[in-house]
Amino acid sequence: MAETEKPIATRLRGMELIDTPLLNKGSAFTTEERAALGLDGLLPPTVEDLDTQVRRVGEAYKGKTTDLERHIYLRALQDTSETLFYKFLIDHVTDLMPMVYTPVVGLGCQQFSEIYRRPRGLFVSYPLRDRIDAILEGAGDLDVKVIVVTDGERILGLGDQGAGGMGIPIGKLSLYTACGGIAPENTLPILLDVGTNNKERLEDPLYIGWRHERIAGAEYEAFVDAFVQAVKRKWPNVLLQFEDFAQSHATLFLERYRDQLCMFNDDVQGTAAVVVGTAFSAVKVAGGSIADQRVVVVGAGSAGCGIAEQLIKAAVEEGADPAEARSRFYMIDREGLVLDDMQGLWPFQQKLAQKTSAVAAWPAGEKPGRFSLAEVVKIVKPTMLIGVSGQPGIFTEAVISQMAETAARPIIFPLSNPTSRCEALPSDVLAWTDGRAVIGTGSPFAPVEYGGKTYPIAQTNNSYIFPGLGLGVLALGIPRVSDGMFMATSRALAETAPASDDVPRLLPSLADIRKVSRHIAIAVGKAAVKEGLIPAIGDDEITARIDAAMWQPAYRPIVAA
């Protein structure tokens, strides 16, 4: 009997069963199930199959006229029947992913309180801080194996969304299932509600979060710690993904907790991994290696510094001298080029600051001792330009065309999400570089027509990484997430990229994402064996365990318990 056919035994009957999205089959409950589970008469008489249901859903979906309506429809479907939702999502992943994930999930977070229908996941709010263990019990019978948690403070490039940030863990976990084959009953989204400093949300009479300014400092850190310790008690082996925390907390918690449990920070590590993987493909097109690049990163935050560090690691693995590799990185933040004499840098920024002595001989900029993005591009002649600033349009025509003067194939990654925060539109970047740019973006863009050719735009988003990483970790019981595992995901991702022909093809098509995630999971498993994180097992065994673990969207027989 195939894995998917093992019957599920339940005590639920009638409407209670129909109201349980993990078990509900709607019109696909069989005649026997209807009789045994008290469903006769509650359902219309025709017994349908999943494909027929997907057709009906497709028709209803076509009638939606705005992206927010499409998002609401898909979320409601997920809360009605998870199997049907995932079948629809997986079958049409390229079209539907932007509706459950970036960019539309950004709108979903901003309007979370307005479109709110039914609870999903857990809200751990500060006023209930003495009852965190009890709140986690609310997960009920779920066999929780992966949690995505946010406090909503830096939602994409949209800033503080308070409790509305819950849209992000829900969206990320949908991709764990759709793209990585993690069973939905193994996933749990969590929102730490510590208030919000977003005035608009605080003044919104419909705001569903705790109407209070953000708790900060020691109280906040103690609260997060109480949460993490409670998670460890309840689910000691869970994979805990930190998502969309503010810059002041992302790296802090990563360093604090990485040796305490199986966790990672997606904005720091997952992002770095997808960028390094895409960069491997990009340098194949542009010529040279990672170690040859001169890199300007705009936005020296969690993502920017994570990306720079992992690219440096890749250059060193290619044989570069570590100090020399580091010296080729130019981080730009609000004050321009990040220099070691600047006040108030975080330690992770300090490590990437250029030495004031190194720029002493540079031509004077507009502000004494400071250098703008435009000035840095002119002086440094970068080969790679990465945007993780959340500042739309910051890659101006002047900046891009300046870069194109000195780089034959400029590698340009405007990575900020959602689309409204993108540093430059791919169509503009191609036009400003006579079609020579090698482009990756964070949000999805349609292929661009330029000079009689069609350029696919690589969606350089951590969604290419975390589902496969999670699959590997869960299928093989890997107890910690290491930097080496992330480097393995980058290499595995690059291996799946199609060969570039007359236009760059940096990443595989999203339609192949489950195959890509499987390939990444296998690479993660091999890296874990190599690092001694799990007992030595052969490659065939790794592959077999991953294949067996992959959840498929199909109905399983249900019997009365």
Ligand X SMILES: NC(=O)c1ccc[n+]([C@@H]2O[C@H](COP(=O)([O-])OP(=O)(O)OC[C@H]3O[C@@H](n4cnc5c(N)ncnc54)[C@H](O)[C@@H]3O)[C@@H](O)[C@H]2O)c1
Residues that bind ligand X (CB under 6 A): 154, 156-157, 247, 267, 271, 274, 298-304, 332-334, 388-391, 394, 415-417, 421, 442, 460-462
What is the rounded CA–CA span in Å between residue 68 and residue 100? 10
Which CB atom, from 266 or from 423, has the smaller least distance to ligand LMR? 266
Which CB atom, from 421 or from 526, has the smaller least distance to ligand X? 421
Is residue 244 near Mn ion by the rule CB under 5 A?
yes
Is residue 419 near ligand LMR by the rule CB under 6 A?
no
What is the rounded CA–CA span in Å between residue 252 and residue 491? 27
Q: Rule CB under 6 A: which of 294-353 touch ligand LMR?
A: none
243 annotated binding-site participant: yes
Query: Please, are residues 144 and 435 in contact by the beta-carbon 8 Å criterion?
Result: no
Helix or strand (DSSP H, E) at 50: helix 50-62
225 annotated binding-site participant: no
> In angstroms, what is the minimal distance from the CB of 389 to ligand X?
4
Residue spans of alpha helices (H) in 352-432: 373-380, 397-406, 426-432
- Reduced to 3 states (helix: H, G, I; strand: E, B; else coil), residue 239 is strand
For 146-174, give the DSSP string. Answer: EEEEE-SSS-TTS---GGGGGHHHHHHHH
> In angstroms, what is the minimal distance from the CB of 245 to Mn ion?
9
244 annotated binding-site participant: yes
CA angle 405, 458, 159 (to 5 degrees): 90
Q: Which of 281, 462, 490, 496 binds ligand LMR (CB under 6 A)?
A: 462
Q: Which of 151, 153, 193, 267 binds Mn ion (CB under 5 A)?
A: 267
> In angstroms, what is the minimal distance from the CB of 152 to ligand LMR?
12
Which one of 12-20, 267-275, 483-491, 494-502 is the stretch in contact with Mn ion (CB under 5 A)?
A: 267-275
Which one of 263-271, 440-448, 484-492, 510-518 is the stretch in contact with Mn ion (CB under 5 A)?
A: 263-271
Is residue 151 near ligand LMR by the rule CB under 6 A?
no
Which CB atom, from 254 or from 298, has the smaller least distance to ligand X? 298
154 annotated binding-site participant: yes
The CA-atom distances, in angstroms, between 107 and each of 100, 154, 179, 192, 247 are: 10, 14, 22, 20, 22
Residue spans of alpha helices (H) in 181-257: 199-203, 217-234, 247-257
Binding letters toward ligand LMR, positions 201-240, x by CB under 6 A: ----------------------------------------
- Residue 264 phi, psi (nearest 5): -155, 165
Report the residue number whose CB is nearest to ligand X: 301
417 annotated binding-site participant: yes
Query: Please, are residues 163 and 211 in contact by the beta-carbon 8 Å criterion?
Result: no
Residue spans of alpha helices (H) in 331-445: 347-350, 373-380, 397-406, 426-432
Residue type, 460: T
Query: Please, are residues 442 and 414 in contact by the beta-carbon 8 Å criterion?
Result: yes
With CB under 6 A as the rule, give the number of residues binding ligand LMR: 9
Q: Which of 266, 309, 375, 423 binds ligand LMR (CB under 6 A)?
A: 266
Is residue 153 near Mn ion by the rule CB under 5 A?
no
Tokens of 550: 């992959």
Beta pairing, strands 453-455 & 448-450: antiparallel
For the annotated catalytic residues, the residue numbers are: 101, 172
> In angstroms, what is the minimal distance from the CB of 303 to ligand X?
3
Q: Residue numbers of the site for Mn ion (CB under 5 A)?
A: 244, 267
Q: Residue numbers of the site for ligand LMR (CB under 6 A)?
A: 102, 156, 244, 266-267, 417, 442, 461-462
Binding site feature residues for (S)-malate: 154, 417, 461
